[in-house]
Structure 1
Amino acid sequence: MNRKSFLRNAAILSLAAGVKGTAAFVKPGQGFNENKPAPDGANAAANKLPAWKGFNLTDFNTPRPALNRKYTSEEQLQWIADWGFNFVRLPIAYPYYLSFNKNRDIRPDEVFEFSNKRLDSIDNLVYLAHKHNLHVSLNMHRAPGYCVNAGFHEPYNLWKDKEAQDAFYFHWSMWAKRYKNVSGAKLSFDLLNEPSMRDDMNDQLSTSGPVPGALYHQVAKAALKVIHEQNSSRIVIADGNSMGNTPIPELADLPLAQSCRGYFPHAISHYKAPWANKEPEKLPVPVYPGKTGQQYFDKAAIEAYYKPWIELMNKGVGIHCGECGAWNKTPHSVVLTWFKDVLDVLAANKIGFSLWEFSGDFGILNSRRTDVAYEEWHGQQLDRQLLSLLQQYK
């Protein structure tokens, strides 16, 4: 299936193929943030988003993909569906689908040079996911002027430069036009991965604070406008502030859902991760439930972390957990015990989740953990215990 065929048949396919778990969708045009408090005693019923459950597919999330990079196969999408999941999130780095010379830093004028070949490859994965009844959330993981990750020199700053903001809107306008005929039951847009006020995109450990609410509102509103000009019922999601950790009440007047994270506490989820810790080898081995470092973590602490998200949900804002999981250095027994409590809290409030990632260091396949008895699965190394835990909540 090539790009033209996929886009030509998108409207037909969206009607012909149902998506599991979409009954909770609001009607087209109704929006997700009605800004109405839930009735007394109501909580979980307030979520306006379906409790999608699935995985992040990291095919396109790096600006300069390696030549030997392994991409998600149709067989793997079939596994996801067969295992009972209904959702995939596609984090995309915008330089991936540009045609500039990737051996040097990008220039501002090159941000608009789209590569049809690279766009076709994204179309193909979207098409194959839809073929297997998986809802796709298209996420701008690296946008013009911002990314939570280092490793690529941006020509400007999304939060400070109008030129960067205009490029951001241009890219979303392109995606909105490209998929304007694809049903909202099959495709949603996730505006920007884990926003924060980073100044140094080349320093992975640079400090960053929250984006000022008024500024986030300005950028989100303008992006939403270009998207809804093409399809007024497109579901659009905004990631939480401070790298996905805190809800954004300033956006509650916009028809936007919001995306939280399942990484609390980082002492467990990102144990020894070099991009998240200055001295990873000196960190105490995490304990759960129990005290790690100077803090005690248990299910009550997790419930407290999600309380602001649930309060926002009960005011009419759809909530989904766009990323969750733990890196492969966290003891597996700790991961399973801790993650069960995270999933319990999300499930109790009808909040869906998307594991980072399907295959890789955080995933159920090929995570390279040293304390897992892997099951050989069609040439892949399957963490059956983690998969079984996730399947309890599908």
Structure 2
Amino acid sequence: MIKNNPLNRRNFLKHAGVATSLVGLAGGPLSAAGMLLPAQTKLPRWRGFNLLDLFSPEPRPGNHQNKTTEDDFRWMRDWGFDFVRLPMAYPRYLDIDYSRKITPDEVYKIDEKKVEEVDRLVMLANKYHLHMSLNLHRAPGYCVNSGFHEPYNLWKDQDAQDAFNFHWNFWGNRYKDLTNEQVSFDLVNEPGMREDMNDQHSKRSSVPGDVYRKVALNASKAIRKANPNHLVIADGNDTGSSVIPEIADLDIAQSCRGYFPHYISHYKAPWAFKDPDNLPDPKWPGMIDGRYYSKKDLEDFYQPWIDLAKQGVGVHCGECGCWIKTPHDVFLAWFGDVLNILTENNIGWGLWNFRGEFGLLDSNREDVAYEDWHGHQLDRKLLTLLQKH
């Protein structure tokens, strides 16, 4: 279960390198005119979805379920949303043999033909006035998930960092003429430290702050080589849950997660729990692992992110939502509280995903009365909740 890290809040001002003299009595930063500023002003309050077209590290023949269509973009726009995030596994756009382990040299073999699929998605997003956030869900030397053998460790090996910078320089240059309203660059999904990068269940820890700073700073320079104004985002430490005070003085926004507590968001998910089938039913608010959880716990969890935003750092929630086994009424009650907190602090969000098990369409939950939507199953209650925020 993801836990809050109070040390980040306590040490934030020490590491952030930002001015603290202009703080109002109410705890918020003051403008030059002495007016209290809203919690989050650096980024637009983008609201939308993650697209899983390139989520898998290798193509799956005959599986078109995750291929985003132009209708998807049109529906998102018509429903009032303005954001999509594209979590990409870098092997997906390489010219490699997927039947064997990748070599360090092959990490550089970008396949122009495969990249055209990213171009298609960026073009369609912009056509329907949705911001596109490109993310390396699997970066050279790191992924929060298993399922592909990495030849090195992003947080320890310079070769991995060189390849990481190469990929981000490629994407920054490819979209050098797009504005920040059209595209942003989300460095690496849910960073964390583990000794064996190819064993998802090995012990995890925080990425050391100085290491994260080095990796993020050099990648942002690679992205901005072709366009110094490119918008760069870094996912929170501890797999997205903790702010990164060590980079708060850099021109890099930060992305949190809407998965706290994990027992609610990933209830019975086989990749999240060792014995998922024997978990007690979740309630919200209610008891979880012998402790009572309520909206107050969510407020405490997000407070470091709110504090970060008040220092002038852009904050966005890049992923949020619930897997299909969470009872729908529990999901909506919990998620309503999450969205209320984010909205009150002007923080946008991206549901994982649009179509699929966390999604608005075709989630295949067993306890939802779906509405037919052009041949898809629409979760109307979830859509109504999202549109309120």
Question: Which residue is equivalent to 2:57?
Answer: 63
Question: Which residue is equivalent to 1:19?
Answer: none
Q: Is the 8 A contact 2:40 2:347 kept in 1?
A: no
Question: Which residue is equivalent to 2:38?
Answer: 44
Q: Aligned pair in 2 of structure 1 residues 301, 45: CA closer, same or farther (>3 Å)? A: closer
Question: Which residue is equivalent to 1:89?
Answer: 85
Query: Do structure 1's residue 120 and structure 2's residue 116 form an aligned pair?
Result: yes
1:1-394 equivalences under 5 Å are: 35-37=18-20, 39-40=23-24, 41=26, 42=28, 44-70=38-64, 71-393=67-389
Question: Could you tell me how far 1:338 is from its partner in structure 2?
Answer: 0.3
Q: Distance in 1 between matches of 2:201 and 2:258?
A: 20
Q: Distance in 2 between matches of 1:304 and 1:251?
A: 22
Greater mean deviation of Cα atoms: 279-288 or 335-344: 279-288
Q: Distance in 2 between matches of 1:92 and 1:151?
A: 14
Question: Could you tell me how far 1:34 is from its partner in structure 2?
Answer: 8.9
Q: Distance in 1 between matches of 2:312 and 2:133?
A: 21
Q: Is the 8 A contact 2:82 2:131 kept in 1?
A: yes
Q: Is the 8 A contact 2:40 2:315 kept in 1?
A: no
Q: Distance in 2 between matches of 1:298 and 1:93?
A: 35
Structure 1 residue runs of 5 or longer lacking an equivalent are 1-32
Q: Give the superposed CA RMSD.
A: 1.3
CA offset digits 1:299-353 (Å, max 9, x no partner) = 1000000011111111111100000000000000000000000000000000000
Q: Distance in 2 between matches of 1:339 and 1:144?
A: 33
CA offset digits 1:65-122 (Å, max 9, x no partner) = 2112320000110000000000000000000000100111111110011111110011
Secondary structure of the corresponding residue to residue 193 of structure 2: coil
Q: Distance in 2 between matches of 1:159 and 1:204?
A: 16
Q: Is the 8 A contact 2:93 2:114 kept in 1?
A: yes
Question: Which residue is equivalent to 2:4?
Answer: none
* Sequence identity percentage: 56
Q: Distance in 2 between matches of 1:192 and 1:135?
A: 18
Q: Distance in 2 between matches of 1:368 and 1:183?
A: 37
Question: Could you tell me how far 1:36 is from its partner in structure 2?
Answer: 4.1
Question: Could you tell me how far 1:46 is from its partner in structure 2?
Answer: 4.1
Q: Distance in 1 between matches of 2:183 and 2:17?
A: 21
Q: Is the 8 A contact 1:205 1:275 kept in 2?
A: no
Count of equivalent residues = 361
| TM-score for both structures, normalised by structure 2 | 0.91
Letter of the 1:60 partner, please give it. L
Q: Distance in 1 between matches of 2:199 and 2:278?
A: 20
Q: Distance in 2 between matches of 1:35 and 1:349?
A: 20
Q: Is the 8 A contact 1:285 1:292 kept in 2?
A: no
Q: Is the 8 A contact 1:252 1:317 kept in 2?
A: yes
